[in-house]
Amino acid sequence: MAALTVAVLALLGLHAGCAAVPVPLVMWHGMGDSCCNPQSMGYIKKLVENKIPGIYVLSLKIGSNLIQDMENSFFMNANDQVREVCSQLAKDPHLKGGYNAMGFSQGGQFLRAVAQRCPSPPMLNLISIGGQHQGSVYGFPRCPGESSHICDWIRKTLDLGAYTAAVQEHLVQAEYWHDPLKEEDYRKNSIFLADINQERGINETYKKNLMALKKFVMVKFLNDTMVDPPISEWFGFYKSGQAKETVPLRETSLYTEDRLGLQEMDKAGKLVFLGVKGDHLQFSEEWFYTTILPFLQ
């Protein structure tokens, strides 16, 4: 009976024993960033805490310090990162009744992997802000922050062999590199994205766990110069075999075959597609307050 009560309260966005306590928020930063950068994730954390008094916000850190956290966003196997985060969440007593999740850029697809692979504690709503759900960064056109030397090296490495075992194991961006000109190589050798997108077969557990979300919110930046193609942020991608014409989610085989349950979620009103003017991860406080905050309350 107690477990049932907790589950019902979680659906209502409340916690057992204290109905006024807001649902906790878990955030995951993007490539080249860290958990607590005062100009990015630390800033967002304060925005949320100021607007939702008493909320518990966990900004994920992968590593023992901020430098490691930033470096791991480039060089720590994404599957190992997801495994580490699942362990962190399972051990956190604040999250037992459920939590909302908000991921930025690659953090959006990593949190989707958490939803699919680790249903306990339960993720209630997933907000992906600029997440590349069908892959990227095809062409790697621009580099974040102060990491240009790293990105120059990554570009050369990806060009030499994104789908080789050594690169896949040790370079995060290769693990969601989706080359529309090499679809077969991608399906066979991508160790992260091809798995969570059900490219090699259907994992019914992934599908069931994702469909348990109340809302899956996807934010696309309408003037994005970093994610190629930007429609990946809404789960669309290039037509196979070329890199010019794109197709929206509802015309992809992932949707028409409903390999992830997205079609069923769409029909149930669980998918939310939002567009915001601006380049990658560029948005105003006002937009964040009026558009994103309601999904956290």
- 24-61 residue pLDDT tens: 999 999 998 999 999 999 999 999 999 999 999 999 99
At residue 179, the pLDDT reads 87
Q: For residue 227, give the nearest of 116, 108, 147 by alpha carbon.
A: 108
Q: Is pLDDT above 70 for 138?
A: no
Tell me which of 40, 73, 105, 136 is the catalytic residue.
Answer: 105
Specify the pTM.
0.88
Instruction: Name 100's bridge partners.
Output: 25
pLDDT tens across 140-151, in order? 555 555 455 776
Average pLDDT of span 194-199: 96
Q: Which CATH number goes with the domain that contains 286?
A: 3.40.50.1820
Sort strands 246-247 and 99-104 into parallel, antiparallel or unpaired: unpaired
Tell me which of 15, 29, 133, 280 is the catalytic residue.
Answer: 280
Q: Does residue 212 lie within any of the structural domains?
A: yes
Q: Does residue 227 lie within any of the structural domains?
A: yes
Percentage of the chain beyond pLDDT 70 is 89
Angle in degrees, 0-180, between the axes of helices 204-211 and 106-117, rounded to the nearest 10: 110
Q: Is 280 a catalytic residue?
A: yes
Q: Is pLDDT above 80 for 139?
A: no
Q: Is pLDDT above 90 for 188?
A: yes
How far lies 77's CA from each of 32, 91, 170, 178, in Å?
A: 15, 22, 6, 16
Domain that holds residue 81: 25-135+202-238+245-295
Q: Does residue 185 lie within any of the structural domains?
A: no
For all residues of the chain together, what is the average pLDDT? 89
User: How many separate domains does the chain show?
Assistant: 1
Secondary structure class of 83 (helix, strand, coil) = helix
The encoded tokens of residue 8 equal 């019902």
Q: Is 73 a catalytic residue?
A: no
How far lies 195's CA from each of 13, 50, 112, 154, 204, in Å?
A: 31, 38, 12, 22, 12
Q: Does residue 146 lie within any of the structural domains?
A: no
Q: How far apart are CA 286 and CA 43, in angstroms?
A: 14
At residue 144, the pLDDT reads 55
Q: Does residue 38 lie within any of the structural domains?
A: yes
Q: Does residue 68 lie within any of the structural domains?
A: yes
At residue 12, the pLDDT reads 42
Q: Does residue 12 lie within any of the structural domains?
A: no
Select the more confidently predicted residue: 247 or 14. 247
Tell me which of 195, 224, 228, 258 is the catalytic residue.
Answer: 224
Q: Is 148 a catalytic residue?
A: no
Q: Does residue 176 lie within any of the structural domains?
A: no
